[in-house]
Amino acid sequence: MITDAVDLLVIFVLAAFLGFEVISKVPSILHTPLMSGSNAIHGIILVGAMFIASQAQGALQTSLAFVAVFLATLNIVGGVVVTDRMLDMFKSRQQTKAIRPEDGAKSDTKR
């Protein structure tokens, strides 16, 4: 790779500041979806698990790599699906909001 430890340190510090800045002012209804969404993002550890798998030697290291890839995949897939389900609720609310003013009578007859 083209990076050394100091380069990574620079990236680390800048990313930390960016992480603080990027989510300023989150309404409380989005706290949990944001937690869940960022939870999915740290599933990027899958990339690390793949590196481990590709260099694994012997049964123990291969097993550890298999476990790591499995767990990281759970993290990504589960995190994304759970976040999507939470945010689905926002979609239905916005649609309800959009339909109501122009066509209130229709949505009433539906139930």
Partner 1 sequence: MTAAIHISANGLTAVYLLSAVCFILALKALSSPRTARYGNLVGVAGMVIAVLVTFLVQAPGHDWVIGGAMGLGALVAVPAARTVPMTAMPQMVAMFNGVGGAAAAVISVAEYLHDLPLGVPAEKGVPIVFALVVGAVSFAGSALAFAKLQELMTGRPVIYPGQQVVNGIVGVAIVALAVLVVVTPHLVAITLLAIAALALGAGIVLPVGGADTPVLISLLNSFTGLAVAADGFVLDNVILVIAGTLVGASGALLTKMMSDAMGRSLPNIVLGGFGATPAGGATAIGAGQERSVRSADATDIGTLLAYSRKVMIVPGYGLAVAQAQHVAVELARALEARGVEVAYAIHPVAGRMPGHMNVLLAEADAPYEELEEMDQANDEFPSTDVALIVGANDVVNPAARDDPGSPIYGMPILNVDSAANVVFLKRSMRPGFSGVDNALLYDPRTTLLFGDAKESLTKLLAAVKTS
67 binds partner 1, rule: CB under 8 A: yes
Question: Please, what is the minimum distance in Å from the beta carbon of residue 48 to partner 1?
Answer: 5
C-alpha–C-alpha distance, residues 111 and 104, integer Å: 12
Give how far Cα 105 sits from Cα of 36, 98, 101, 108, Å.
37, 13, 9, 5
What φ, ψ does residue 81 adopt, rounded to 5°? -65, -45
106 binds partner 1, rule: CB under 8 A: no
90 binds partner 1, rule: CB under 8 A: yes
Identity of residue 16: A
For residues 2-21, which are near partner 1 according to CB under 8 A?
A: 2-3, 5, 8, 11-12, 15-20
What does the per-residue mask of binding to partner 1 show for 21-50, with x meaning CB under 8 A? -xxxxxxxxxxxxxxxxxxxxxxxxxxxxx
